[in-house]
Structure 1
Amino acid sequence: MKQNISTISDYDYPLPEQLIAQCPLSKREKSRLLVLHRDDGRIEHKRFFEIIEYLHKGDVLVLNDTKVFPAKIVGSKRTGGRVEALLIKKVKDTVWEMLLKTNRKLKENDSIYFLDNSVVGNVLCKNKSGSWYVEFKNGEDFTNTVMSVGSMPLPPYIKRSQDNKQLAAIDETRYQTVYAKNVGAIAAPTAGLHFSEELLGKIREKEITIASVTLHVGLGTFQTIKEEDYTKHTMHEEYYHIPQQTIDVILKAKSLGKKIFATGTSACRVLETVARNDSVQECSGWTDLFIYPPYNFKITDSLITNFHLQRTSLLLLVSAFAGKETIRNAYESAIERGYRFYSYGDCMLIT
């Protein structure tokens, strides 16, 4: 009987809870770096600042310049009951898609009050994924409220006390890349968190081209795949943009036999979306590209990526890039050596 090779349970692994990083290191580039060679499965253990040894003149380092906005905000119902909102995206000027958490069930036409009742949202409807659409009479007022009183949307495995102002201040700067520019993500492109301005300067001095794309990391980054046959999973759409300058430097590098290094699964998905669409011009849009084994990567030659949660599309992507067993062996090696996992954790270079 032929084995089903598309089972998500194959992408599970045991992880000691103490290896889930709760805070960033004092210096971004001092995190550990597991270098995984795809051709033979060889593993090297380095520090992130040593990544420059693997980048060569003429190579292209692609960064995702999305910026995380303070997407968590607390409101209340008419009865005074607490409502915790995680904003996903603005659907139009007056309507936001968001996850809502309350003690009692919400229903259509309920009102949610924010900022001492000065901003009111009307609950429109719930969609199939479990998020809600909420309308505001003045969308600009709500956007301003979010930017002024919202908090960073840390993933649920990073535990925070609401009273810990010191950690909240750290999160505001460290759960953000140093090159973040275009506001719109509800999760950081975490592979990029390891780059400091100093390290990027040294990379430029080595005549490595640094190029940017934008992908606003969305809800899907937190979610595990529920379907046992993961090919039936549907990805959340995420907005992306790739400028003409980035396309041009990639095409030139490819023609010269140079390598394209994607910083993070988000940058990788932009590059492979562009390749799938045969785009050679600046483009923007929404991508739901779901990469899982086997997959033919057309642009990405090397991948910089953090360690990912079990049963996620991110783990499937890196497994497609390096091979399922190769990734499993690398993760086992990282766990044995006490690497720090997930968003604030250590990093891999798959080359």
Structure 2
Amino acid sequence: MLTYCPAVSIKNVRVSDFDFHLPPELIAQHPPAERGNSRMLLIDRNTGNYTDAHFRDFPSQLNEGDLLILNNSRVIPARLFARRAGLRTQHNSPAPTGQVEVLLTQPLGNDRWRALVKPGRKVPTGEHLIFGDNVLEAEVIESGDFGERTLQYAPTQDFFGALEQLGHMPLPPYIHRSEEDEEEDRTRYQTVYAGANTHGSAAAPTAGLHFTPEILEQIKARGVQIEHITLHVGLGTFQPVRVEDLADIRLHEEPYTLPAATADAINKAKSEGRRIIAVGTTTTRTLEHIAAINRIEPHSGTTSIFLQPGHRFQLVNALLTNFHLPKSTLLMLVSALAETEDQTITGREKILRAYAHAVGGKYRFFSYGDCMFLS
């Protein structure tokens, strides 16, 4: 049985301490020409030393008996456009005009979705929205801050089929293109192992975008066990940190599922002292959440866990991840994993030094960029 170790308070650490200079030209606007053809920075958790490599070298960094855990959530074409159809209480009033943009960010069950609506000020609670030629219809049933809305969709026979017809892939705001999402994004902004029935993410678990079926087979051939969790990436991915004190950071809840096979594999790996390697921060957050609630058994739930420096990791021993935004909670998570008990520099310093090397070496950053392996 695991005992939850709460995060140690780190005094005088601010959000601004996780800032770094990133030239805009290093932000990847397109995926590499071939999936898996990315660079990879190897970082030693204990020393902070780093080595340049390529993602094709990733299988060689794994050992027989390692447990590699992937997030198999499927990204949906979550960016939609709707026309306003008025309030239910105003049947005799002229219908409002104008188009609004809707970004679905979290499935809530029973045809309900959390979403970001732009411009939100024009879409009050009670507003009806029509998508396409009456393909989908929704009512705004709750309003939140910064354009957040809860939508109740009218029942439809194939909701996700309708999204495929109407929706656009929800590319991050730092990808700037004349044509926005393109046809290649339908496949390249999706992992090759996304589940057939795991729809729900508003953003890709980007560390997984590097994998190809061939690389996965190479990993299995080394005697590495591969299992999956599902965490639907939601609203928090699109929201900047608006506070300065780490103690004031609150993340949105995101739904996850821990399958039986993965729970069994985790328990066995822990009992045998084998490494557990997370692919992506979404996998890391899910694993540390289930450890925190001491529930390593098959179940579904939600998590809003924030992993910051001082967190004592109970399950994750190593992490494959992309390079993250300045002052982001994901950069804080990676810095937390780089912490060691006997160290002359902090995890934050280790990671920011490695990031400075990546900037100097012109690594590609963010969703379609290169990756790092912290072990």
Classify the TM-score, shorter chain.
over 0.9
Q: 1:104 Cα shift?
A: 6.3
Superposed CA deviations along residues 96-132 of structure 1, whole A, max 9, x for unmatched, are 2211113962223233221124543222331246411
> Is 1:205 aligned to residue 221 of structure 2?
yes
Aligned partner (choices 74, 81, 87) of residue 74 of structure 1: 81
Report the residue type matching 2:191 in the other structure.
T
Report the residue type matching 2:349 in the other structure.
E
Report the residue type matching 1:242 in the other structure.
L
Q: Which 10-residue stretch deviates more, 301-310 or 22-31? A: 22-31
Aligned partner (choices 198, 201, 209) of residue 185 of structure 1: 201
> 2:36 maps to what in 1?
29
Aligned partner (choices 10, 14, 19) of residue 7 of structure 1: 14
Verify the 8 A CA contact 1:115 1:145 in the aligned structure 2. Answer: no
Verify the 8 A CA contact 2:277 2:318 in the aligned structure 1. Answer: yes
Report the residue type matching 2:201 in the other structure.
A
Mark the CA change 1:125 to 1:47 in structure 2 (over 3 Å): closer, same or farther. Answer: same
Superposed CA deviations along residues 233-279 of structure 1, whole A, max 9, x for unmatched, are 11110111111211222222233332111000111111111111112
Report the residue type matching 1:174 in the other structure.
R
> 2:305 maps to what in 1?
289
When the two chains are superposed, the root-mean-square deviation of aligned CA atoms in Å is 1.9
> Is 1:244 aligned to residue 250 of structure 2?
no
> Is 1:136 aligned to residue 143 of structure 2?
no
For the residue of structure 2 that corresponds to 1:35, the secondary structure is strand
> 1:121 maps to what in 2?
138
Q: Identity percentage over the alignment? A: 41
Verify the 8 A CA contact 1:38 1:350 in the aligned structure 2. Answer: yes
For the residue of structure 1 that corresponds to 2:184, the secondary structure is helix
For the residue of structure 1 that corresponds to 2:30, the secondary structure is coil
> 1:59 maps to what in 2?
66
Verify the 8 A CA contact 1:247 1:280 in the aligned structure 2. Answer: yes
**Please, what TM-score do these two structures have when normalized by structure 2?**
0.88
Report the residue type matching 1:170 in the other structure.
E
Verify the 8 A CA contact 1:82 1:103 in the aligned structure 2. Answer: no
Verify the 8 A CA contact 2:107 2:200 in the aligned structure 1. Answer: no
Verify the 8 A CA contact 2:83 2:100 in the aligned structure 1. Answer: yes
Matches within 5 A, 1:1-351: 4-77=11-84, 78-102=95-119, 105-128=122-145, 130-138=147-155, 140=157, 143-162=160-179, 168-181=182-195, 182-322=198-338, 323-351=347-375
The number of residues matched between the two structures is 346
For the residue of structure 1 that corresponds to 2:122, the secondary structure is coil
Q: 1:30 Cα shift?
A: 1.5
- Which whole-Å CA distance do the structure 2 matches of 1:6 and 1:232 have between them? 12
Mark the CA change 1:130 to 1:79 in structure 2 (over 3 Å): closer, same or farther. Answer: closer
Verify the 8 A CA contact 1:174 1:193 in the aligned structure 2. Answer: yes
Report the residue type matching 2:76 in the other structure.
F
- Which whole-Å CA distance do the structure 2 matches of 1:104 and 1:235 have between them? 23
Mark the CA change 1:118 to 1:67 in structure 2 (over 3 Å): closer, same or farther. Answer: closer
For the residue of structure 2 that corresponds to 1:30, the secondary structure is coil
Report the residue type matching 1:30 in the other structure.
N
Q: Which 10-residue stretch deviates more, 216-225 or 337-346? A: 216-225
- Which whole-Å CA distance do the structure 2 matches of 1:103 and 1:86 have between them? 11
Superposed CA deviations along residues 110-156 of structure 1, whole A, max 9, x for unmatched, are 33221124543222331246411223333556554323211111101
Q: 1:180 Cα shift?
A: 0.4
Mark the CA change 1:249 to 1:233 in structure 2 (over 3 Å): closer, same or farther. Answer: same
Mark the CA change 1:66 to 1:119 in structure 2 (over 3 Å): closer, same or farther. Answer: closer
For the residue of structure 2 that corresponds to 1:29, the secondary structure is coil
- Which whole-Å CA distance do the structure 2 matches of 1:232 and 1:139 have between them? 40
Report the residue type matching 2:190 in the other structure.
Q
- Which whole-Å CA distance do the structure 2 matches of 1:85 and 1:148 have between them? 15
For the residue of structure 2 that corresponds to 1:250, the secondary structure is helix
Mark the CA change 1:104 to 1:292 in structure 2 (over 3 Å): closer, same or farther. Answer: closer
Report the residue type matching 1:127 in the other structure.
G
Verify the 8 A CA contact 1:136 1:142 in the aligned structure 2. Answer: no
Q: 1:175 Cα shift?
A: 0.3
Which 4+ stretches in 1 moved above 4 angstroms? Answer: 139-144
Q: 1:185 Cα shift?
A: 0.6
Unaligned segments of structure 2, at least 5 residues: 1-9, 85-94, 339-346
Superposed CA deviations along residues 32-77 of structure 1, whole A, max 9, x for unmatched, are 0000001111110000010112101111111111110110111112
- Which whole-Å CA distance do the structure 2 matches of 1:157 and 1:257 have between them? 40
Superposed CA deviations along residues 69-97 of structure 1, whole A, max 9, x for unmatched, are 11011111244311110012233424322
Report the residue type matching 2:361 in the other structure.
R
For the residue of structure 1 that corresponds to 2:281, the secondary structure is helix
